[in-house]
Amino acid sequence: DWAPLLNGLPPLGLIGEHQRWNAATALCALQTQTHFTLPPDTIKSGLQNAVWPGRLQRIPRPDLQPGWDFYFDGAHNDSGAIVLADWIA
């Protein structure tokens, strides 16, 4: 069950619930490898400060009406488009 791992993640730098699944998958991979270790603070900082331009990126637009936001996402396959549509909904 992945729920406890997902609930234990810090706030992520990347937008979207699917990024929590991606982070959890990365943490599982990190825990199973034996070539190197990373301090927990380094992992937490990486998750919180990750930046990926073009992936649910909020673009500041002062010309928009108050309360409106502009996001850019380069969903590059049908799975990415489905996740994007779910997030928008």
Could you give the dihedral angle defined by the CA atoms of residues 22, 8, 51 and 73, in that order, rounded to the nearest 10 degrees?
A: 50
Could you give the dihedral angle defined by the CA atoms of residues 39, 21, 55 and 36, in that order, rounded to the nearest 10 degrees?
A: 30
Dihedrals φ, ψ of 48, to 5°?
-75, -25
What's the pLDDT tens digit per position in 13-22?
Answer: 999 888 988 9
pTM here is 0.75
Report how far residue 17's alpha carbon sits from residue 57's, in angstroms, rounded to the nearest whole number: 14
What's the pLDDT tens digit per position in 20-78?
Answer: 889 989 998 988 889 988 888 888 899 999 999 998 999 999 999 999 999 999 888 99
pLDDT at 48: 94
Judge contact between 17 and 87, C-beta under 8 A: yes
Higher pLDDT, 6 or 52: 52
Whether 2 shows a pLDDT value over 60: the answer reads no
